[in-house]
Amino acid sequence: GGIIASMVVDRLLATLEESFLKKLEVYTFGSAANHMNGGHCLKHIEHFANESDFFASSGVMTYYQTARNKYDNMLYIDWGKTGHLLNMHYLDPEIAEHEMNMAYLNDNNMNIFAVGRPAERSHMATYLFGGGGNPVVNTTYGGA
């Protein structure tokens, strides 16, 4: 899905006017793609990855960290989680927000910040897990 989504976004960037692109939001889960362009044109982009998701480790978690970041916008990592299946491993309704161990990597220096700060909170995480407490966040990135 992430590879196809990145190719579709590339095609849309090449063919549509910016006024149309400003309406588009893109969310990826466990993306194996090597890039995602459009942060300057699209309304919103977020990427989610489980720390031990093989596909995310070889995709978004690898390419997000390169010197020339090939991924636009924010990456949220659920530390300690495994699996790649959307419903089972990413959208599990049994997981309470306070048990989520999510963080995002800053585009410039790969620092890790808590999602729970209102200005930095994920749009999708808010939708999936509701409002409320701050998740516990790892302070070191141990990914691929």
Q: Tell me how far CA of residue 93 lies from CA of 7, 9, 96, 106, 128, in angstroms.
A: 30, 29, 8, 28, 9
Q: Which two tokens stand for residue 37?
A: 């362009």
pLDDT tens profile 3-40:
999 999 999 999 999 999 999 999 999 999 988 888 78
Listed in sequence order, the DSSP H helices in the chain are 2-15, 18-21, 54-58, 60-63, 123-129
The confidence score (pLDDT) of residue 70 equals 74
For residue 66, which amino acid is it?
Answer: T
């790969």: which residue's tokens? 110
Q: Is 0.85 topped by the overall pTM?
A: no
pLDDT of residue 128: 53
Please report the pLDDT score of residue 99 as a whole number.
44
Between CA 15 and CA 52 the distance in angstroms is: 36
Q: Rounded mean pLDDT of the chain?
A: 70
Domain boundaries, the chain: 2-129
**What confidence tens digit (pLDDT) does each residue in 71-125 have?**
777 788 877 778 887 777 777 655 544 344 454 444 433 333 333 334 445 566 5
Amino acid 37 reads N
